[in-house]
Amino acid sequence: MSDDNQGKPLAIISEGLYLLNLLFPLLPLIGLAWLRYRHRNSEFDLVRNHLPQAFIGACISSGIFIAANLLILLLGGYGSIAALITFEVYFIAVVPLFLIPGLMALIKAMSGQQHRYPLIGRKYAR
């Protein structure tokens, strides 16, 4: 492996966990938090680019998921029509906004390239 691609497996794993977090919120976030803590001073540019952005994106999407659940609880619980509408809006509007950049980042990580997430990736772009 060349020096540029040594962090490639970890970049791929971090982007995969980010995408899993969209389907199963919070559990992959724990894995991303552990990876972020363990590799916070990584010497590989690919890891320093992909891992923090995936972690921040997963935190934001998990926060929105938790907010949607709190809204459901405030509007009458999970048996109400408000729950159905809230989750429909979440899965139709919010998930694609996070899914598309995540898929693009995964493709870039698999090809060993840097990627910049919209809005949150300016600090980590190289």
pTM of the model: 0.88
Q: Note the pLDDT of residue 124.
A: 61
Q: Domain for residue 124, yes or no? A: no
What is the DSSP secondary-structure string of 31-43? HHHHHHHHTTT-S
Residue-number span of the structural domain to which 74 is assigned: 3-110
Q: Domain for residue 80, yes or no? A: yes
Q: How far apart are CA 40 and CA 61, in angstroms?
A: 21
**Which pLDDT tens digits describe the chain residue by residue (126 residues)?**
445 677 899 999 999 999 999 999 889 999 999 999 999 888 898 899 999 999 999 999 999 999 999 999 998 888 889 899 998 999 999 999 999 999 999 999 999 999 888 878 666 655
Q: Note the pLDDT of residue 1.
A: 47
Q: Domain for residue 25, yes or no? A: yes
Q: Domain for residue 74, yes or no? A: yes
Q: Domain for residue 115, yes or no? A: no
Max CA pair span of the chain? 56
Q: Domain tally for the chain?
A: 1
